[in-house]
A and B are shown apart, each in its own frame.
Chain A
Amino acid sequence: MAEYSELLVRASYFLVAVLFIVGLKRMSSPVTARGGILWAGVGMLIATLVTFAWPGMSNYPLIIVAIAIGGIIAWVSGKRVPMTGMPQMVALYNGMGGGSAGAIGAVVLLGGGHDTIHMTLAILGGLIGTVSFSGSLIAFTKLQGWADRQYIFPGQQLFNALVFIATVAAGAYLFVDLTPTNIAIFFGLAFAVGILMTLPIGGADMPVVISLYNALTGLAVAFEGFVLQNEAMIIAGTVVGAAGTLLTQLMARAMNRSLGNVLFSGFGATGGGAALEGEMKPIDAADAAVMMAYADKVIIVPGYGMAVAQAQHKVWELTRQLLDRGVKVKFAIHPVAGRMPGHMNVLLAEAGVPYDLIYDLDEINAEFKTADVSLVIGANDVVNPVAKTDPSSPIYGMPVLDAEESHNVIVIKRGQGRGFAGIDNALFLADNTRMLYGDGQVMAGELLQQVKQL
């Protein structure tokens, strides 16, 4: 009997692996993306159900209660969170996966009686999963705005390195003396590593960090899958580990920085770069509306400020007004605008902006020269020309949108503050730039009213 149920489970896992890979593949094209998540979802459902038939298991009531608790909490929070809060929810759920992998490692180690290979993989999976767990939780609190600053102290990198070495040593010591106390010390240290690693990283880098922890969780899942001889975990974990690593690299490259630089530089802490001289010139909504309404071509550059102000719906209404007047309107999206790559795309899609109006950096940068007006709404560092001109600036070399090349630039901004990188923005001081101070949604609404009256 046990033989047949094991066969059933393993055959189902094979099907699950196929469903996951096809699902992920379908998610990589806008046309099939919605079907993709369904495929993967069916796979997950099958995997969960057949696992109850895994031979030699007990504690079924506990399993069902635990699934209900975790599932319901995640379902409710996932349904309720506003679209702007998506990045931190991804961080949170990812942390839960890492924590789960870490906990599996702990149970396996407590059970004891493993050979060297299984011990090594259980320890590695436990370490990576736990780091991903505590690191993702810190990323979540930062994005949620509960701890929106960096914690930096002298000798931090040395301290972190020592804690990491101690963690590895504690993991290695488990081969010598596998006691519950030593296991607890090891996991405690791994938890600290995740926290210490993430604390000094600034909010602007969080997308890269979340993506990295996503890949790490995948890897941890794969390692624990080896230990449990669970093919579904090995395949799914490894695919995510590899895909997540590539995604992390793409994102780091979009900011023209290496991953090491993101993790260890404490970027944004000091500002740096030459201070800029000049004055920001204000404009009121009526004048800005005239400029846009009588333009041939307007390029809108959204940033995180648009997300915070929930301005995407007003922006789309404004866009439709302009389109009706015969103005060509395009959206320019920087690869790291917002808090996740593609964050802006998701928000604009939510508001109903068709994606053929949305262009990424490479497609649109040459067009700024021919645009009459660039409307920068809540973006800062991604349109800062300093990245091209000042080698001492921390963002030097990062590809930016050439908004300053358009005939006129209107910047909607709450105040005169700096961006996430903490540096002055030469675009705001340029002769052809006018500042429209105010909340993104309110100002977009006023522009809309003014354009309607023309």
Chain B
Amino acid sequence: MEGFVALYIFMLAAFTGYEIIGRVPTILHTPLMSGSNFIHGIVLVGAMVALGEADNLVEQIIGFVAVVLGAGNAVGGYVVTERMLEMFKSSKGKSQSKGEESA
């Protein structure tokens, strides 16, 4: 990859991140923090490559730790975010049923 292309990718991705969060209601700050925490769990693939290309014991050990931690980030981030957002579903359902009661 050309250095400058990488730089452009970096800039555009940064703007994208900024724009996505820019107009978010406070109610979603926690799930979004958790969701973005999940997304940097993509570090797992880098850890897999690092371990996959490791050719001595020290590198293998550190690479192994990297994969364990990366998998923890990805899986844990997903589970926690999913549980948080699960509640938004139930609260929406309840507010609808409440609307029916009052109607």
Name A residues whose Cβ lies closer than 8 Å to a Cβ of B: 16, 20-21, 23-25, 27-31, 33-34, 36-37, 40-41, 44, 47-48, 51-52, 54, 56-60, 62-63, 66-71, 73-75, 77-79, 81, 83, 86-87, 89-90, 92-94, 96-97, 99-101, 103-104, 106-108, 110-111, 117, 180, 210-211, 214, 217-218, 220-222, 224-226, 228-247, 250-251, 333, 335, 340-343, 345-346, 348-350, 352-356, 358, 360
Complex Cα gap A243–B67 (Å): 25
Main secondary structure of the interface of B (DSSP, over half): helix
Q: What residues of B have a CB within 8 angstroms of the CB of A104 in the complex?
A: 43, 46-47, 50, 66
Complex Cα gap A241–B91 (Å): 30
20 pairs, CB–CB < 8 Å, chain A vs chain B: A20-B39, A24-B35, A30-B92, A34-B88, A37-B38, A37-B85, A47-B44, A59-B60, A62-B67, A68-B71, A81-B80, A221-B43, A222-B10, A238-B9, A239-B20, A240-B17, A245-B18, A342-B26, A354-B98, A355-B91
Complex Cα gap A218–B33 (Å): 12
Q: State the Cβ distance, A320 to closest chain B Cβ, in Å.
A: 9
| Given contact pairs A27-B35, A54-B52, A100 touches B73 in the complex (Cβ within 8 A) | yes
| Given contact pairs A67-B71, A214-B37, A218-B36, A346 touches B53 in the complex (Cβ within 8 A) | no
Cross-chain contact B48 with A342 (CB below 8 angstroms): no
User: Shortest 7 CB-CB distances between A and B: which pairs?
Assistant: A57-B52, A354-B95, A242-B17, A70-B71, A78-B79, A74-B76, A103-B66
Quick one: which of B14, B23, B45, B65 contacts A232, CB cutoff 8 A? Answer: B45
Cross-chain contact A346 with B35 (CB below 8 angstroms): no
A70 (CB) vs chain B CBs: closest residue? B71
Can you add 8 more A-B contacts, CB < 8 Å, to A28-B20, A36-B35, A81-B80?
A: A20-B39, A28-B32, A29-B28, A96-B73, A107-B54, A228-B46, A239-B14, A352-B90
Q: State the Cβ distance, A323 to closest chain B Cβ, in Å.
A: 9
Cross-chain contact B79 with A246 (CB below 8 angstroms): no
Complex Cα gap A79–B96 (Å): 28
Q: State the Cβ distance, A342 to closest chain B Cβ, in Å.
A: 4
| Given contact pairs A214-B37, A236-B40, A241-B14, A41 touches B78 in the complex (Cβ within 8 A) | yes
B78 (CB) vs chain A CBs: closest residue? A41
Q: What residues of B have a CB within 8 angstroms of the CB of A340 in the complex?
A: 29-30, 33
B30 (CB) vs chain A CBs: closest residue? A342
Cross-chain contact B29 with A251 (CB below 8 angstroms): yes
- Number of B residues near A (Cβ < 8 Å) is 84
Q: What residues of A have a CB within 8 angstroms of the CB of B85 in the complex?
A: 27, 33-34, 36-37
Q: What residues of B have a CB within 8 angstroms of the CB of A79 in the complex?
A: 79, 83
Cross-chain contact B46 with A221 (CB below 8 angstroms): yes
- Please encode chain B, from 64 to 94, with 1 for each CB lying within 8 Å of some chain A CB and 0 for all others: 1111111111111111111111111111101
Q: Is B58 an interface residue (CB 8 A)?
A: yes
A234 (CB) vs chain B CBs: closest residue? B9
Q: What residues of B have a CB within 8 angstroms of the CB of A225 in the complex?
A: 46
Q: What residues of B have a CB within 8 angstroms of the CB of A246 in the complex?
A: 17-18, 21-22
Complex Cα gap A90–B42 (Å): 16
Cross-chain contact A243 with B21 (CB below 8 angstroms): yes
Cross-chain contact A355 with B50 (CB below 8 angstroms): no
Q: State the Cβ distance, B100 to closest chain A Cβ, in Å.
A: 12
Cross-chain contact A27 with B48 (CB below 8 angstroms): no
Q: What residues of A have a CB within 8 angstroms of the CB of B66 in the complex?
A: 99-100, 103-104, 107
| Given contact pairs A71-B75, A97-B43, A62 touches B60 in the complex (Cβ within 8 A) | yes
Q: State the Cβ distance, A346 to closest chain B Cβ, in Å.
A: 5
Cross-chain contact B39 with A69 (CB below 8 angstroms): no
B11 (CB) vs chain A CBs: closest residue? A238
Cross-chain contact B49 with A346 (CB below 8 angstroms): no
Q: What residues of A have a CB within 8 angstroms of the CB of B47 in the complex?
A: 100, 103-104
Q: What residues of A have a CB within 8 angstroms of the CB of B36 in the complex?
A: 24, 214, 218, 239-240, 243-244, 247
Complex Cα gap A62–B8 (Å): 35
Q: What residues of A have a CB within 8 angstroms of the CB of B28 in the complex?
A: 27-30, 33, 342
Cross-chain contact A57 with B70 (CB below 8 angstroms): no
Q: What residues of B have a CB within 8 angstroms of the CB of A354 in the complex?
A: 91-92, 94-95, 98
Q: What residues of A have a CB within 8 angstroms of the CB of B76 in the complex?
A: 74-75, 77-78, 89, 92-93, 96
B68 (CB) vs chain A CBs: closest residue? A70
Most buried by A among B9, B54, B71: B71
Q: State the Cβ distance, A305 to closest chain B Cβ, in Å.
A: 18
Q: What residues of B have a CB within 8 angstroms of the CB of A34 in the complex?
A: 85-86, 88-89
Cross-chain contact B69 with A356 (CB below 8 angstroms): no
Cross-chain contact B77 with A349 (CB below 8 angstroms): no
B82 (CB) vs chain A CBs: closest residue? A37
Complex Cα gap A239–B76 (Å): 20
Q: State the Cβ distance, A377 to closest chain B Cβ, in Å.
A: 19
Most buried by B among A47, A59, A232: A59
Cross-chain contact B37 with A63 (CB below 8 angstroms): no
| Given contact pairs A27-B32, A89-B80, A231-B9, A51 touches B49 in the complex (Cβ within 8 A) | yes
Cross-chain contact B17 with A238 (CB below 8 angstroms): yes
